[in-house]
Amino acid sequence: MFTSWLAALLLTTAQVQDPVATDNGADPAPEVASDATPQLQLPAAPAEEPDVVLTSARDYAAFHHTVSGLQEAPIGSAEDLDYAMDQLTRFYGEERLVRAWIAYAAIVAARHPEYIDEVRELADYYGPEAAISGLMNDPAFATSFGSAGEAQDSVVSAIDQDNAEIVGLSERYRAAAYDLQSERWANRVYRDRQERLATLSDIDNSPIELPEDVRLSLDYGVASGLPASALFEPPSAGLTDEAIGPELTLTVGQTTRNPDRERVGRILSIAALQSLDGMTDTDAAIDYLLADPVVERCLAWVRLDLSQCVAAGHFKYEDSFCIAEHALLDVSRCLATETGGD
C-alpha cells in the first residue's frame, strides 16, 4: 500500500513539473511566461516628512563650504571674479540664507539639555500649546529660562566664528582689489555690466546639492554643536575634537557683545519648539520663526547695493571690491547677533 501511495505521489509531482504533458507521448509544449501571474505588491512606505530645520541648515553648511573654498580660490582672471560673485549670490535669493542661518544656530542651541529640559517642564505644567504660544508671540521669552544663558552664549560664539570667516574672506578680496590695479586684464574696460547684472538678478532658488564631504561634515557638526565655519576650516584638515574643540569658546575681537534678545530668542525658540515635537505639532510655529523680516530686509539691501556697485564699475578690479564690501562684509553684518545691520 505504501508503494502505491509513493507511486501516486511521484506521478502527481511529475504532472506539476510538466503540466502540459499528454497521454499520447507527444513532446510537451514549451513553457510560456505569463505576465498575468499575480504578484504580491507591498504598499510603498510613506515618505518621512523632511525636517525643516535640518533641511534649511544644509544651505548654511553649503554657504560656509563655499566661503571656505574661496579662501584659497585663485583671483587671477575675470572668470575667477565672476565665479566668486556667482557662487556667493546664489545663496542670497529670497529668504534662503536667512532661514539657513537661523536653523543652523538653532541646532547649536539645542545642544544644551538643561535648557531643553526646562522648556519641556514648562510644557508639561502649562501644556504644550501654552508653551508654543509664548515662544511664538515673544521670541525674547525663550531667553528668560534659567539655563538659556549657556545656550545663548553658544549661539553667539558660533555666529561670531562664522562671521569672522566671512570677514576674513572679505579682507582677501578687498586687498585683491588694490593689487589687481597693476594687472592689465583687470584695468581694461569690460562691457559685461548688463550680463553681470542679469546674473545677479536671476538668482536660482532651487535646492543646492551638497557634495558628500559637506554632508558628512554637516552630520559631524550637528552631532557636536559646532559653528558651520568649523566644519571646513582649514579646508584640508580633518575634523577632530582636538583641532576644533568640543566647546564653543571662541571670542572674536576684544569688545563685549550685547546680543539682541529678540534675534537670539528667535533662534532659541526654534530649538525649544523642536523639543516639543513629540507632544504636539510644532512645524507651523517653527516655519513661522525661521522667517526673520529684519534679516530678510538687510539681505535685500545687500543684493541692491551689490547690483549698484557692479553697475557703477568699469574695471574688473572693482568687482573684487564689490565682492568684498557687499557680497561678504555686508552679509556678515546682517547675520550678526545684534540688530542694526538693516
Residue 124 φ/ψ, nearest 5 degrees: -65, -35
Query: Does a structural domain hold residue 277?
Result: yes
Query: Residue 22: what pLDDT?
Result: 42
Would you say residue 11 has pLDDT above 90?
A: no
Where in the sequence is the domain holding 101, given as residue range(s)?
A: 62-250+258-334
Higher pLDDT, 134 or 200: 134
Query: Residue 250: what pLDDT?
Result: 37
Query: Residue 224: what pLDDT?
Result: 77
Query: Residue 237: what pLDDT?
Result: 41
Each residue of 271-308: pLDDT tens digit? 999 999 878 889 999 999 999 999 999 999 999 999 99
Query: Does a structural domain hold residue 236?
Result: yes
Would you say residue 171 has pLDDT above 50?
A: yes
Q: Which of 3-7, 140-144, 175-179 has the highest mean pLDDT?
A: 175-179
Are 256 and 100 a contacting pair, CB within 8 Å?
no
Query: Does a structural domain hold residue 185?
Result: yes
Query: Does a structural domain hold residue 324?
Result: yes
Query: Does a structural domain hold residue 4?
Result: no
Would you say residue 253 has pLDDT above 70?
A: no
Average pLDDT over residues 226-238: 70
Query: Does a structural domain hold residue 104?
Result: yes
Would you say residue 219 has pLDDT above 90?
A: no
Query: Does a structural domain hold residue 5?
Result: no
Q: How many CB atoms lie within 10 A of CB 310?
A: 21
For 189-198, the CB contacts below 8 A with 24+ separation are 189/314, 189/315, 190/78, 190/314, 190/315, 190/316, 193/310, 193/311, 193/313, 193/314, 196/82, 196/85, 196/310, 196/319, 197/307, 197/310, 197/311
Each residue of 82-132: pLDDT tens digit? 999 999 999 988 789 999 999 999 999 999 999 999 999 999 999 999 999
Per-residue confidence band for 157, with pLDDT thresholds at 50, 70 and 90: very high
From CA 60, how far away is CA 68, in angstroms rounded? 12
Query: Does a structural domain hold residue 31?
Result: no
Query: Residue 159: what pLDDT?
Result: 96
Would you say residue 71 has pLDDT above 80?
A: yes
Query: Residue 36: what pLDDT?
Result: 53
Would you say residue 158 has pLDDT above 70?
A: yes
Query: Residue 215: what pLDDT?
Result: 78
Residue 150 φ/ψ, nearest 5 degrees: -65, -40
Query: Residue 174: what pLDDT?
Result: 97
Q: b/e string for 155-183 if b means 16 or more Cβ within 10 A?
A: bbbbbbbbbbbbbebbebbbebbeebeeb
Each residue of 173-212: pLDDT tens digit? 999 999 999 999 998 888 888 888 888 888 766 667 777 7
Per-residue confidence band for 217, with pLDDT thresholds at 50, 70 and 90: confident
Mean of the per-residue pLDDT values for the chain?
Answer: 80
Average pLDDT over residues 301-323: 93
Higher pLDDT, 248 or 202: 202
What total number of domains does the chain contain?
1
